[in-house]
Amino acid sequence: MFFGVAGSLALFFSFPLWGMVGDRKGRRLMLLRATFCSGILFASYMFAPAVGVLILMRFIAGFFSGTVSPAQALVVSTTPEKHHGFALGMLSSSVWVGNAIGFVLGGFVVKYCQYNAFWDRLFHLNKESVFVKCWSYNVAFSLTMALFVIAGFITLFCVRENFVPPPPKPKTVADAGRSSAWALGGFGCSVYAILGMFLWMSFARRCDENYISLLVEVVSGLKGQAAADIAGYISGIGAVGCFIAAISVGFISDHFAPRKIIIPIAIVGFLAMLAQAFAPNSWVLGGARFMTFAVAGGLEPTVLALLSRESPPERRGTIFGLCASLRIFGLLLGTVLGWAVMRLCDRFLHEGQTICGIVVDPHGFGIRGVVFLGALAMLSLIPWVFFVERMVASRHRQLEEAGR
């Protein structure tokens, strides 16, 4: 747990900082920094002498890595504004497919790439050393390094950015007297409203992410490796659904208002998450999981496309860095609130108690309650959309009045 939290905290604090640097030095440079640093630092895990050092190394690697945010800023800065939704959708789909392939490939390597006669003929290492006992994980770290370095060289030789550093803006009397309601933090209230919706969207989509294995155990009645295998299949099904949604909805977001996209997604996502919460077996759970991600996967490119259109072009690196931090915070918030739901069920429900004719299992009620919480959060995106539209319309009116 501490290993994962260390990486998440490092990413949470570093994303906005690197975003600001990217706005001044170039987004391509930040993507090169992220890919090469990720490759080198992730490979260094295999040389950690103790668990505490490994956690520290994870924090350092997390601080200097993080490829999605600079990639998004680079895509937006090199793509015509009318195609931002489609471009961000393609990028989001690539990330989901890469994650799915990575989980499968990493699991295969860890399971089958043990230290054997082939490796012994090459290296002649001490078979009793910790390095050899963790050999399959070291192979996985080495493979991660190789893939990141390849991505770095692809960015170095195949990606171009005509970046011109923005000139410093002189402060004027009008700027000094501008109302805080319009220029809060230099972005404007409409941008902060979209960022708030992005945070809530991240929470709604990911609040059950760390509990999917427990949900599979409750629904299927299986334990151990059998439940883990089913959880892996269901996660893969969700990734496929997200891949489909990110491309299709990202393309649609370039042609329709966000309200016409997000409201249907919120309704269908709410119903699909309800189906997960009350799933009687693994088949229903897998189908509902696919449907959830098949619609909810289009939320992120839609909101990011709206955000890129409403934010200053010279500060989009900072904006996308904030989005990346909010994505992590949404996951952490979901994890904490999910834990609270399960604790409340353990506290106030008792084994064998009957509610509406259903015999209570506090553990099962708690896990299903976490998914139900996500369903309610998904449905509550609807008022968020109307609030954001109101703030965006207000901004456009102020711009029109200032231009007269």
Distance CA 81, CA 265 (A): 23
Q: Contact, 191 vs 307, CB < 8 A?
A: yes
What pLDDT does residue 1 have? 58
Token output for 213: 């294995």
Average pLDDT for 390-404 = 78
Q: Are strands 358-359 and 354-355 parallel, antiparallel or unpaired?
A: antiparallel
Q: Contact, 92 vs 244, CB < 8 A?
A: no
| Domains defined along the chain, listed by start | 2-160+186-403 (1.20.1250.20)
Highest mean pLDDT among 80-84, 245-249, 358-362: 80-84
- For the chain, percent of residues with pLDDT exceeding 90: 17
Distances in Å between the alpha carbon of 247 and those of 61, 72, 104, 263, 297?
A: 30, 15, 22, 18, 9
What pLDDT does residue 173 have? 41
Token output for 133: 């006992």
What pLDDT does residue 371 have? 92
Tell me which H or E stretch contains 355: strand 354-355
Least confident of 95-99, 318-322, 365-369: 95-99
What pLDDT does residue 105 have? 80
Predicted model pTM: 0.80
Contacting residues for 244 by C-beta, under 8 A, at least 6 apart: 93, 294, 297
What pLDDT does residue 356 have? 64
Least confident of 40-44, 59-63, 173-177, 374-378: 173-177
Q: What is the pLDDT of residues 100-142, one digit of tens each?
A: 777 778 778 877 888 888 878 787 787 777 777 788 888 888 8
Distance CA 58, CA 244 (A): 32
What pLDDT does residue 182 have? 37
Contacting residues for 392 by C-beta, under 8 A, at least 6 apart: 190, 193, 194, 306, 310
Average pLDDT for 20-47 = 89
Q: What is the pLDDT of residues 291-309, one digit of tens each?
A: 888 888 888 888 888 888 8
- Please provide the DSSP assignment of 184-240 as one string: GGGT-HHHHHHHHHHHHHHHHHHTTGGGHHHHHHHHH---HHHHHHHHHHHHHHHHH
Distance CA 296, CA 96 (A): 13
Tell me which H or E stretch contains 114: none
Q: Contact, 288 vs 279, CB < 8 A?
A: yes
The 8-class DSSP code of residue 311 comes to: S
* Residue of 316 and 270 predicted with greater confidence: 270
Q: What is the pLDDT of residues 133-171, one digit of tens each?
A: 788 888 888 888 999 999 999 999 998 888 777 676 655
What pLDDT does residue 76 have? 86
Contacting residues for 96 by C-beta, under 8 A, at least 6 apart: 239, 242, 243, 246, 297
Average pLDDT for 207-229 = 83
Q: What is the pLDDT of residues 265-300, one digit of tens each?
A: 999 999 999 999 999 899 999 999 988 888 888 888
